[in-house]
Amino acid sequence: MTCTSSTDRPDDLAVHRISAGYGDRLALTEVSARLPGGRITSLVGANGAGKSSLLAVLAGVLRPTAGEVTGLGPRRPALVAQRSAVSDALPLTVRETVAMGRWADLGPWRRARRADRELVEECMERLGVAPLAGRQLGSLSGGQRQRALVAQGLAQRPEVLLLDEPTAGLDAEARERIAAALAEAGAAGTTVVHATHDLHLALDADHCLLLADGRPLAEGRPAEVLTPEALRRAWGTPELPAARAAERA
Ligand SMILES: Nc1ncnc2c1ncn2[C@@H]1O[C@H](COP(=O)(O)OP(=O)(O)OP(=O)(O)O)[C@@H](O)[C@H]1O
């Protein structure tokens, strides 16, 4: 069994002239983009560019005021929120947290079958959190908790996996684990879309959408999109991200 879906390559996701916001503040203005099915797309942009809002629209938790999303299958996408969005006070172990990823498929009594339990163990192994299975989520380090949340996302076996800054603030080993898990999910046919400030992770994606002020600046292969010039435009200053991309070029 694999902890990702293994369908044939699904259709592309697309957003068509999406506008969305909070009250009268627009976070996205007429955003159109294609997010290739069964591939990894990185959403890149400065703070406030609209990355999380676009993920929320794709996840169905932020209703657009205009435009539409096409290519989503019948199942709801899995959304892995930023770890700061998850309360420290939740009285859940790592295993319980990951097992919650199975709930949507279990029906009203949430009775896990053996296959569900195996899938949960496998997803914990994949993210390196199996040794922490009995620990309370609130007692974990930021990186451990983030890995548990990604394992929960994978345990849903989603067709579309959305992640908001999955490697923010993590050490190199945790980043590698998460990058490898996303690559495996993409290889197994899952459409992965993640928002990131981690240019290494962004450059490792198959596709990239660069946002600025709620509008798309560029879209395409990451190395072609994330040029020093484009990053300067996105950030408004010739600061760190552009320098880092130049190092990688
Ligand atoms: N809950 C909210 N209520 C009001 N405005 C919001 C809310 N969430 C986001 N915004 C605004 O929407 C815009 C886009 O924010 P969003 O969080 O999508 O950007 P982001 O690219 O994900 O930023 P970051 O890199 O800081 O996470 C910003 O102007 C932000 O202030």
> At residue 81, what are phi and psi to the nearest 5 degrees?
-75, 165
Pick the atom of ligand 1 nearest to 43's CA.
21
pLDDT at 7: 44
Nearest to residue 192, comparing CAs of 1, 18, 2, 42?
42
How far is it, in rounded angstroms, from Cα 6 to Cα 8? 7
**Nearest Cα residue to atom 30 of ligand 1:** 48
**Nearest Cα residue to atom 29 of ligand 1:** 48
The domains found in the chain, sorted by start residue, are 11-77+158-234 (3.40.50.300), 89-157 (no CATH)
The answer to whether 104 and 153 are in contact (CB under 8 A) is: no
Instruction: Provide the 10 A C-beta neighbour count for residue 134.
Output: 9
The answer to whether 45 and 236 are in contact (CB under 8 A) is: no
* Prediction ipTM score: 0.98
pLDDT at 11: 80
pLDDT at 47: 93
Q: Is 169 helix (H, G, I), strand (E, B) or coil?
A: coil
What confidence tens digit (pLDDT) does each residue in 25-82 have? Answer: 999 999 999 999 999 999 999 999 999 999 999 999 999 999 999 998 787 899 998 8
How far is it, in rounded angstroms, from Cα 29 to Cα 155? 33
What confidence tens digit (pLDDT) does each residue in 206-239 have? Answer: 999 999 999 999 999 999 999 999 999 998 865 5
Residue 249 has pLDDT above 60, yes or no: no
First to last CA, the chain: 38
CA of 53 to the centre of ligand 1 (A): 6
The larger pLDDT score, comparing residue 122 to residue 3, is at 122
Ligand 1 shell residues, CB under 6 Å: 22, 25, 27, 45, 47-53, 195
Residue 244 has pLDDT above 60, yes or no: no
Mutate to test the pocket of ligand 1, among 22, 162, 213, 235 (most ligand atoms within 8 A of CB): 22
**Nearest Cα residue to atom 1 of ligand 1:** 22
3-state helix, strand, coil in the chain (%, to 5): 40, 25, 35
CA of 230 to the centre of ligand 1 (A): 21
Q: What is the mean pLDDT of the chain?
A: 88
Strands (E), 50-171: 66-70, 78-80, 160-164
pLDDT at 1: 45
> At residue 13, what are phi and psi to the nearest 5 degrees?
-85, 145
Residue 103 has pLDDT above 70, yes or no: yes
